[in-house]
Copies of this chain bind each other. A is one copy, B any other.
Amino acid sequence: MSAPEVARGEDGRVLAPFGRRRGLVVSTRKVGAYVLLEVADRDGPQADPGQFHMLATVHGWGGGEDERPYLPRAFSPMGSSGGHLWFLLEDVGPGTHRLATLKKGEALWVTGPLGNGFTLPDAPSADEHPGGGRDPAFGGARRPILVAGGIGLPPVMALSGALAHRGIEATMLLGFRDAAHAQVAASFAGARLATDDGSAGHHGYVTALLRAELERDPHALVYACGPAAMLEAVRGLATGNGVPAQLALESGMACGYGACFGCVVPLTAGGYARVCVDGPVMAAGTLRSVPAL
């Protein structure tokens, strides 16, 4: 799925151009409770699913009554092609609000792709990746179960595209707060849906769907992205069932490329790992827990 001319690092990740670059807003669209932002990023390489970009607007980043945001914000594209990036945004604070209210033609700063993405089941190099969090178990013929919760959808969407491209069948489980948030899932014909309030699909958490799936097929492997509590539940289920799982984590970030040591999560082995360079995708087994933000 990645264009062949993309440069990769020693650990297999797609490398980012050094320095931030200017992107241009091509379009913005409301999709239920989210905003879909299309950015022209001519000079950027195509990202692997699970990688992310640091974004900031060129004008009006910071200022106003509270003078935030000041630092760039991390976002995983849900897709990219032909020099365009698609981001799905949830307006939860000053940074996402500013990005969600961008107008066509406005400029933004883009740095990335950053971090290590998901290791695909058939990726020949899966075992070679030293970039923390890769799991050697990811090489076999296990059936991938993709789990997304809320705004955790974008990297999972990108992954599902990459799997489909390779002809790998996967089960998609999507959880949302309610129908308004679930609207974005309409494009996933085969996905199974859960909402917290039962207004669409299964009434309850998406992890209930996962539990049932893992009972049916213990020889699966799990990819997940979503809120910390959901990922922690997924981690528990996967660890409990002896199933490998790759979790795409969130964390408050300042830099996104390992410079600040601010984005850490605690490791089973003791100490911390940086989500931005050792993640954001990490093997469930390496994590002591998925900390609440």
Q: Give A residues with C-beta under 8 Å from B.
A: 58-64, 67
A74 to chain B, nearest CB (A): 20
The A interface, classified by DSSP as helix, strand, loop or mixed, is: loop
Nearest CB to that of A67 among chain B residues?
B62
Number of copies of this kind of chain in the complex: 2
Minimum CB–CB distance for A58 against chain B, Å: 8
**Additional pairs, 7, CB under 8 Å, beyond known A59-B64, A61-B63, A63-B64:** A58-B64, A60-B60, A60-B64, A62-B63, A63-B63, A63-B67, A67-B67
Residues on B with C-beta less than 8 A from A67 are: 62-63, 67
A98 (CB) vs chain B CBs: closest residue: B63
**Which residues in B have their C-beta under 8 angstroms from that of A59?**
60, 64
With most chain B CB atoms within 10 A of its CB, the pick from A59, A62, A63, A67 is A63
9 closest residue pairs by CB, A with B: A63-B63, A62-B63, A60-B60, A60-B63, A59-B64, A62-B67, A61-B63, A63-B64, A60-B64
Cα–Cα distance between A63 and B95 once the two chains are bound (Å): 12
